[in-house]
Structure 1
Amino acid sequence: MLAFSVFSIPVWGSEKLYIYTENFPPYNMSSTGLAFEHNGEGVDGLCTERVKAILKAASVDHVIKLRNWDYGYNRAQNKKNHGIFCTTYTESRASQFKWVGPLASNLWTIFAPPGTNLKIDKLEDTRGMLYAGYRGDVMTEYLKERGYKVSEMESDDLNPKRLELGQVDLWIAERLAGPFFASQQNVEGLVPVFSFNNVDLYLAMNLDTPDDVIQKLNEGLEIIKKNGLYEAIGTKYGL
């Protein structure tokens, strides 16, 4: 069984980490089906299990909470010892956080409605079409920065249904997460028409988090890679 305690022995006295994530299955998700979770016992997923394993190996006192992306991201940007996962590492974000990882990789995928005949050879082929996305998401920001039209929601939950109903032309999501969200909305037959930009996902910590904490966390990552736990968690989720 790949189960990890959220309790550990603090090694930095009063230092405690406050770590946020969002509902983004299979990487991070509520294990009880709720929109929010107040502690790590209610949070599951590929990245979550790896983060919990890292925290346990590093013996770091912590709290894990599940919120919407904007809330967690802003806390990680603005409060010492706060972080968020799984966060896409980009050049523009590199200087905004201290990084632990990579925890997993993420293949950006464009989905079209069921029964589509759409053929896409490159991203430019979709210019002028309306995408479904969500606020604060790196994929949504990537499209907007390049002049693509994106209809943004507070989360990704409803976007598969919006695509099925024809409210948008396309939906940008992640290779594994897209089908999970669609199944939760009882949406079947969405067609992956183009994939691009395979990126790494990390735990992003506030810049005021002490360097020795970040070092200890990355050492924890190396421990679970060496003992096989990192790979075992990936295998559990089909990687």
Structure 2
Amino acid sequence: MSSTGRAFEHNGDGIDGLCTEMVKAVLQASGLDYVIKLRNWDYGYNRALNKKNHGIFCTTYTESRAPQFKWVGPLANNLWTIFAPAGTNLQIDDLEDTRGLLYAGYRGDVMTEYLLERGYKVSEMESDDLNPKRLELGQVDLWIADQLAGPYFASQQDVEGLVPVYSFNKTELYLAMNMETPDEVIQKLNQGLETIKNNGIYEAIETKYGL
């Protein structure tokens, strides 16, 4: 709980995007007060792991993460996507085709970890923000991101024309909450998700983002 005795407080008006709009709608439908802050992924992930009533989104649900959090969702489906520089003639039919090329990724990211575990070369940053620019400048050969966030991060860096050359591993994205968060809060949040699916808000947000 926060110092005011409420599970969440709200001051996240300046933060947007598909997942943020979904989470805000869920929270509003659940009747909970809240705060949303933009954090470095590693910092936010560890804070959600260690602080009651804290969460992080959108988080890919994996078997290894499952016992570490309480889960609200799925909020959206996603595809892992490999981006190449504008004007590329690279053709990829299988992930194995990229072995030997250098990826841009970021620490703690499930996609980066997936590549590293399989012996692919990844140049890691603290966040994904600068990776589109690194790809554009030729500092890396490829960038792995998700289908939803990739174009957004590129636009934030004024990077245009990146080419999605291969997509794989459809995943579900969730709001992951600290394990000490009361079950009744998780229940309210999941009920809030069902509410926005039934009243059309969920579909409207998806449509806004071209899904």
TM class by shorter chain equals over 0.9
Q: Where does residue 14 of structure 1 map in the other structure?
A: 5
- Residue 111 of structure 2 is aligned to residue 131 of structure 1: no
The CA distance in 2 between the partners of 1:143 and 1:97, in whole Å, is: 24
Deviates more, 1:48-57 or 1:175-184: 175-184
**Cα displacement (A) at 1:237:** 1.4
Q: Where does residue 151 of structure 2 map in the other structure?
A: 179
The one-letter amino acid paired with 2:7 is: K
The CA distance in 2 between the partners of 1:81 and 1:93, in whole Å, is: 17
Deviates more, 1:175-184 or 1:70-79: 175-184
Percentage of matched positions with identical amino acids: 81
Structure 1 stretches of 4+ moved >3 Å: none
- Residue 27 of structure 2 is aligned to residue 55 of structure 1: yes
The one-letter amino acid paired with 2:16 is: D
* 8 A contact 1:224–1:230 mirrored in 2: yes
The CA distance in 2 between the partners of 1:17 and 1:73, in whole Å, is: 17
The one-letter amino acid paired with 1:117 is: N
Q: Where does residue 38 of structure 2 map in the other structure?
A: 66
Question: TM-score w.r.t. structure 1 length?
Answer: 0.83
1:195 to 157, 161, 167: 167
Q: Where does residue 91 of structure 2 map in the other structure?
A: 119
Pairing 1:37-56 to 2, within 5 Å after superposition: 39-56=11-28
- Residue 142 of structure 2 is aligned to residue 151 of structure 1: no
SS of structure 1 residue aligned to 2:63: coil
What stretches of structure 1 of length at least 5 have no aligned partner? 1-9, 19-37
**Cα displacement (A) at 1:15:** 4.6
The CA distance in 1 between the partners of 2:178 and 2:156, in whole Å, is: 32
- Residue 204 of structure 2 is aligned to residue 227 of structure 1: no
The CA distance in 2 between the partners of 1:93 and 1:171, in whole Å, is: 24
The CA distance in 2 between the partners of 1:184 and 1:222, in whole Å, is: 32
Of structures 1 and 2, the one with the larger relative CO (CA 8 A, separation 6+) is 2
* 8 A contact 1:54–1:221 mirrored in 2: yes
What stretches of structure 2 of length at least 5 have no aligned partner? none
Q: Give the aligned length.
A: 209
